[in-house]
Each structure stands twice: as C-alpha cells, then as structure tokens.
C-alpha cells in the first residue's frame, strides 16, 4: 500500500504526543516547505442544552495541506466537516489540539498576529447570499476586508476590487449593485473575489456550489480551479459530491462522526478505499453504484 494512504486522522483515542510520527501524506507532496495547514489532534465541542459538553463535533483530527494543494473533505451530514473548516479559519475555538497556518500557530497567536494570520485563511460558504452583507455594494464587499486590514489607499483598494471582480467573471457594470440584485452564481463570484482580496494562501470552500443551479456549478468550479493554479492557493474543499472532489482535489479526507477515518490520494481512495466507511459512502453515490 502507498505509504501516503495511511489513515492518520483519528487512529484511536488519545493524543499525538510525538508530532514527528504523524503521517498525513503531505510529506510526499511538499517535503521541504511549511504546510499551508497543519492540524494536530483537534477537538471541537459545543456546549449541550444544560451546559454539559456533547459528543465532540470534531475529534482527534490531524491533517496537513501542502501549499497549493486542494484536499477534498467528504463525509455524511453532521460528521463535522463545516465545524473543522470553521475552526481552521478561526471562527470556532477548539477545545484541544493545534492549528498551524504556514507554520504559525493559530491558537496561541497574540491578537495582532491573529489578525495577520486571518489574512492568510478565508472561507467560501455554501450560501453566498448569507455570507455577503446585503447593505454593501458589490465593490464594497471586496474592498471591506482591505479596509479592515489597512491595505492600500482608497484608490488602490478600488482598483484591486474591480480587477478581482473582473477576474471572477463579474460584468463591469455590477460593482455598484447590491447582493440582492445579482444571480446566485454572481453572488458566489463576488464572495470568491472578497475571499481573494487579502491574497490568502488557504481557502476553506464549504460546499461552494451546492446551492447553485446545475448550469452554474461547473462555471464556478472551473473558476475555483483556475484561481487555485494561478495563485498557488491551497483549498480545503468540503463537498457531498464525490465527482466534484475527484475533479478538483489531489487528496481526499473522509470524516465520520467527527473523526478523519481515511486520508490519501484521491485516485487511491476512490479506487480502493481502505476504510469500510469510505466504501459504504462511495457505494451510496448513485453514479458509482456497482463501480
């Protein structure tokens, strides 16, 4: 078996005391560069109804992403994919474990370095309507992160926003419109332009096309792929759609009940899944049944 296929996400209970022993496959992808993302023994718990902690939403997860790598994250509804993605971009505070972005520790960062780290990680959500402020014009949606981080003059921010919007396929006359005046696909293009504004190295894409019309899905996926190559972006790409993940991602991580049960090169995982759960998941995909 290919060494990089080793299941590393959740091999049993307990922690990962000797970090060097953890193999997540990234060693083979980019042996001499700091990982775009390095997650170790991550646990996220939400308080239950009476303040008690319920079953962890994310449990003992260890993952690495190489710079410029797209990793697919799949698993059934409620297994913790979004929670893991939100933890990676700093939207949820883990109860245990570590997250490094480009070699810098997210969880122990001072407020100042946290702000800097946040520039490097962005998230694109399933529902672009919900992620854009309805009171901001298209142009402002893209200049706002630059303003917050004090990047450039007003003119420079505007120039960068217009160029990003154009790159993301927005018509030139759309910059003064508001999100409700756009199609779903256009809203997602604006959300992508906004995510790119601060030149991140890692983007968590959480089902970025599943709320869109089928005819638009392929266009948005192609845009994401082009941008990844053009800008050397690393993606943690969450999706229910195995075909989409197979198209876009060189490696795939499979989550079940908060844990990563399998990580490996996409082709190997799809052709010969090592974990019985992955096999069941693949068998449940209509186009793959009997494959």
Interface residue list for Mg ion (CB under 5 A): 82
Residue 52 touches ligand ATP, criterion: CB under 6 A: no
Q: Is 236 in the site for ligand ATP (CB under 6 A)?
A: no
Is residue 57 at the binding interface for ligand ATP, with CB under 6 A as the rule?
yes
Nearer to ligand ATP, 81 or 140 (CB): 81
Q: Measured between alpha carbons, how far is 230 from 168 in angstroms, rounded to an integer? A: 12
Q: Which of 81, 120, 189, 256 binds ligand ATP (CB under 6 A)?
A: 81
The distance of closest approach from Cβ of residue 88 to Mg ion in the complex, given in angstroms and rounded to an integer, is 13
Choose from ligand ATP, Mg ion, none: what does 218 bind? Cβ within 5-8 Å by kind. none
Q: Which of 162, 254 has the CB closer to ligand ATP?
A: 254
**Does 232 participate in binding ligand ATP (rule CB under 6 A)?**
no
Per-residue x/- marks for ligand ATP, 186-225, CB under 6 A?
----------------------------------------
- Applying CB under 6 A, the span of 13-21, 80-88, 111-119, 166-174 interacting with ligand ATP comes to 80-88
Residue 57 Cβ vs ligand ATP, minimum distance, rounded to whole Å: 3
Stretch touching ligand ATP by CB under 6 A, among 14-22, 81-89, 97-105, 184-192? 81-89
153 contributes a contact to ligand ATP by CB under 6 A: no
Structure tokens that stand for 166 in this block: 């154009």
Q: For the chain, give the secondary structure using H, E and C.
A: CCHHHCCCCCCCCCCCCCHHHCCCCHHHHCCCCCCCEEEEEEEECCECCCCCECCCCEEEEEEEECCCCEEEEECCCCCCHHHHHHHHCCCCCCCEEEEEECCEECCCCCHHHHHHHHHHEEEECCCHHHHCCCCCCHHHHHHHHHHHCCCCCHHHHHHHHHHHHHHCCCCHHHCCCCHHHCCHHHHHHHHHHHHHCCCCCEEEEECCCCCCCHHHHHHHHHHHHHHHHHHCCEEEEECCCHHHHHHHCCEEEEEECCEEEEEEEHHHHHHCCCCHHHHHHHHCCHHHCCC
Quote the least distance from Cβ 82 to Mg ion, whole Å.
3
Which region among 5-13, 73-81, 132-140, 146-154 touches ligand ATP (by CB under 6 A)? 73-81
- Where does this chain bind ligand ATP (CB under 6 A)? 46, 57, 75, 77-83
């Amino acid at each position: 078996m290919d060494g990089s296929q080793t299941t590393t996400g959740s091999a049993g209970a307990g922690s990962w005391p000797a970090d060097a022993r953890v193999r997540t496959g990234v060693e083979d992808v980019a042996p001499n560069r700091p990982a775009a993302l390095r997650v170790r023994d991550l646990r996220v718990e939400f308080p239950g109804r009476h303040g008690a902690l319920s079953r962890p939403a994310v449990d003992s997860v260890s993952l690495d992403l190489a710079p410029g790598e797209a990793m697919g994250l799949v698993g059934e509804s409620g297994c913790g994919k979004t929670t893991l993605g939100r933890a990676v971009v700093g939207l949820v505070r883990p109860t245990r474990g570590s997250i490094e972005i480009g070699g810098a520790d997210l969880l122990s960062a001072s407020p100042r370095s946290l702000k800097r780290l946040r520039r490097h990680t962005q998230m694109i959500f399933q529902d672009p309507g919900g992620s854009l402020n309805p009171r901001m014009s298209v142009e402002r949606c893209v200049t706002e992160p630059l303003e917050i981080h004090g990047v450039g003059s007003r003119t420079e921010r505007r120039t960068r926003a217009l160029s990003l919007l154009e790159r993301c396929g927005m018509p030139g006359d759309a910059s003064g419109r508001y999100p409700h005046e756009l199609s779903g696909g256009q809203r997602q293009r604006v959300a992508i332009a906004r995510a790119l504004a601060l030149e991140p190295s890692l983007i968590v894409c959480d089902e970025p096309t599943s709320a869109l019309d089928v005819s638009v899905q392929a266009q948005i996926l192609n845009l994401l792929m082009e941008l990844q190559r053009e800008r050397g972006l690393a993606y943690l790409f969450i999706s229910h759609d195995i075909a989409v993940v197979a198209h876009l991602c060189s490696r795939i991580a499979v989550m079940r009940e908060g844990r990563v049960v399998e990580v490996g090169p996409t082709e190997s995982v799809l052709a010969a899944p090592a974990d019985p759960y992955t096999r069941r998941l693949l068998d449940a995909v209509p186009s793959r049944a009997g494959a």
